[in-house]
Amino acid sequence: MRGNKAARRKIEADPKHNNLIIAKFINYVMRRGKKSVAQAIIYDMLDDISKKTKQDPLEIFDRGLKNVTPILEVKSRRIGGANYQIPVEVRGDRRITLAMRWLIKAAQTRKGMPMSQKLAEEFIAAANNQGEAIKKKEDVHRMAEANRAFAHFA
């Protein structure tokens, strides 16, 4: 790796809720640079959440995201001709990135409704510690727990 690390870009808070995490989530949902479409999807999702749960949608969003964030993950490391899955703690910014990625993937696997509704249902499920994204987090934690014997290679 040559040269300096690329400077991290600062993203601006979203215009409606003035929230940095929602702005970041909008950027993750965005396809082919169509930010207005992604914003419409996320704002419709928040409206759906408030209609279905009769609670503050930002609170459900934060709780769902917090419930999906992983603490441990496994990384492959080659030692003496064998590959070991070594459990490592996840850094703060990667936690949020993985959680958002898993929530979007889980919503995409649901069928038969618009993306805003799929995301809303996935966030409501995640806020209640259910759903595909929570299952993915538990699988990653289970994998890290199973390979705890190799933690000394880290």
58: in domain:
yes
pLDDT at position 151 is 80
The pLDDT value given to residue 92: 85
**Residue 48 maps to which CATH number?**
1.10.455.10
pLDDT, average across residues 102-131? 95
| Contacting residues for 105 by C-beta, under 8 A, at least 6 apart | 132, 133, 136
For range 65-86, the mean pLDDT? 91
Which neighbouring-strand residues pair with 84? 77
For the residues 102-124, what does the mean pLDDT come to? 95
Quote the distance between the C-alpha of residue 51 and its chain's center: 23
Is 30 within a domain? yes
pLDDT at residue 2, as a whole number: 85
| Whether the Cβ atoms of residue 31 and residue 39 lie closer than 8 Å to each other | no
The SS3 call for residue 74 is strand
- 5 is a domain residue: no
Summarize pLDDT for 11-32 with one digit per residue, the tens. 999 999 999 999 999 999 999 9
- Is 25 contained in some domain? yes
84 class by beta-carbon count within 10 Å (0-12 exposed, 13-18 middle, 19+ buried): middle
124 domain residue, yes or no:
yes
42 domain residue, yes or no: yes
Does a structural domain hold residue 130?
A: yes
| Residue 46 φ then ψ, to 5° | -65, -35
H/E segment holding residue 58: helix 57-68
Total domains in the chain come to 1
Q: Is 88 part of a structural domain of the chain? A: yes
Q: Is the pLDDT of residue 59 over 90?
A: yes
Query: What DSSP state is assigned to residue 149?
Result: G
Give me the domain span that covers residue 149: 20-153
